[in-house]
Amino acid sequence: MKYLFLAVFCLTSFVFKGQKPSIIPIPLKAEYPKGSYSLPSFLTLSGPNVLTLQVAFKVFSEKLKKATGYKLSWIYKDQANANIRFVLNKSFDSSLGKEGYRLQVNKNGVKIFANNPVGLFYGIQTLGQLLPKEIESKTFIAGISWKIPFADIQDTPRFAWRGLMFDVARHFFTKDQVKQFIDEMVIYKYNLL
């Protein structure tokens, strides 16, 4: 009996090892070639100097900095040699629509393309889901291999209105609880409260 248990345990560990990353909501198109991109200890990020994106860039940078302990450098223009690039398309890509994005992770780094700042914002949320779960830590975590699996993801929302109900009529919520709820909505790409 214990040999059977050991055999099942070993086989399931191999099955789970090869699983694709879980991204919520599931993207329209996603390919995961073998391999992963290791984040260097000094990261260069580049993105457009758009006021609406600067807050998203700052939040993402702080999250990366706290959990990894890595040094980060932002360049507010498209920099070809940046480790993580956020690029607004020069011409409208109809396959992405207004809120869609394309995220590519390969040996050269990470690139997120979108037609509008909103698409880049949603791409940032997906990138956060591709990182190890320890990225959610509020403090530095040692001994983590900060790798992002190779991916080519293209996604655009299926519905214009994606919302959650927040029932404040029957329950009292503090300002901090409301902010936390909104932060959690953003991770899953909801756009209405």
Closest by CA position to 73, among listed 40, 113, 107, 36: 40
Q: What is the pLDDT of residue 170?
A: 87
Half-sphere exposure of residue 33, counting CA atoms within 13 Å on the CB side? 9
Q: What percentage of the chain exceeds 90 in pLDDT?
A: 67
DSSP E strands in 89-162: the ranges are: 101-106, 109-114, 147-149, 151-155
Q: What is the pLDDT of residue 4?
A: 47
Tokens of 137: 């830590």
Q: What is the pLDDT of residue 116?
A: 95
pLDDT tens digits along 22-44: 999 999 999 999 999 999 999 99
pLDDT band at 166 (very low <50, low <70, confident <90, very high): confident
CB count within 10 Å of CB 50 equals 15
Residue-wise DSSP of 142-173: TT---EEE-EEEEE--S-S--B----TTTS--
Q: Residue 69 region, left (φ>0) first, then alpha (ψ -120 to 50), else beta?
A: left
pLDDT tens digits along 106-145: 999 999 999 999 999 999 999 999 999 999 999 999 999 9
Q: What is the pLDDT of residue 55?
A: 87
25 prior amide bond cis, ω within 30: yes
pLDDT tens digits along 90-109: 999 999 999 999 999 999 99
Which helix (H) or strand (E) is 42 found in, with range? strand 42-46
pLDDT tens digits along 7-23: 555 555 555 556 789 99
Task: Compare 153 and 159 and report the one with higher pLDDT.
Answer: 153
Average pLDDT over residues 142-170: 92
- Burial (CB count <10 Å: 0-12, 13-18, 19+), residue 100: buried
Residue 34 per-residue DSSP state: S
Closest by CA position to 36, among listed 106, 125, 136, 98: 106
The domains of the chain, with CATH numbers, are 19-157 (3.30.379.10), 159-193 (no CATH)
Mean pLDDT score of the chain: 89
Q: What is the pLDDT of residue 20?
A: 84
CB proximity list for 78: less than 8 A, separation 6 or greater = 46, 47, 48, 85, 87
- Burial (CB count <10 Å: 0-12, 13-18, 19+), residue 69: middle
Average pLDDT over residues 46-67: 90
Average pLDDT over residues 147-154: 98
